[in-house]
Amino acid sequence: MKFNQSELLEIINLVNQTNQSFDFPSNSCLYSSSLLTAVINDHLPYEAKLIVGSLSINGALVFQHTPILPLLKNNTDLKLSWNGHAWIEIFDLIIDLSITNSIFSSNKHNNFQQHIINQFHKVPDYLIGQKNLLLDKGFNYIAKEKLTNLEIDLFIKNLDNILNE
């Protein structure tokens, strides 16, 4: 499905509202993406999916996925250690609410920081775009797992764990 301009603006508006309402720390992609997935699903007629996987920028691996579903089985307080990345997909649209926060939170990602600035001529608050266009810009999102509403709710219920650290 291809979104028209008003549909895309609705999505962007919800992304901006969520992004401005919470001060998510770096490496909180599961929490921020869970919340935004629920907001989109509650307010728009599209199914937003929470996806976890790996991310490469310009062929270099930034986030290497390890399976998260086994970690969620017996971990209700969600103080878990996990390697990977989370984002939202609506049809072929990718919304990455946390990429900038994660990449720019330390100096260990200088090459990736420069690539983001070169591609977008600024430091964007988040990335949103069609999967193929992001891939053309060097952002390769490799989906490994789709989280269910139950798992999304679990992260939302545990937002305080990361917001109050």
Band the pLDDT of 35: cuts 50, 70, 90. very high
What is the chain's alpha carbon radius of gyration, rounded to the nearest angstrom? Answer: 15
Q: What is the pLDDT of residues 93-114, one digit of tens each?
A: 999 998 888 787 776 667 888 8
Which among 33, 76, 77 has a CA at the least distance from the CA of 55? 33
Q: What is the pLDDT of residues 59-94, one digit of tens each?
A: 999 999 989 888 777 665 565 567 889 999 999 999
Could you tell me whether strands 127-130 and 139-147 are parallel, antiparallel, or unpaired per DSSP bridges? unpaired
pLDDT attached to residue 111: 83
Delimit the domains of the chain by residue range.
Answer: 5-160
Band the pLDDT of 147: cuts 50, 70, 90. very high
Whether residue 24 contacts residue 101, with contact meaning beta carbons closer than 8 Å, is answered with yes
pLDDT over 80 at 164, yes or no: no
CA–CA separation, 109 and 161 (whole Å): 25
pLDDT attached to residue 78: 60
pLDDT attached to residue 80: 58
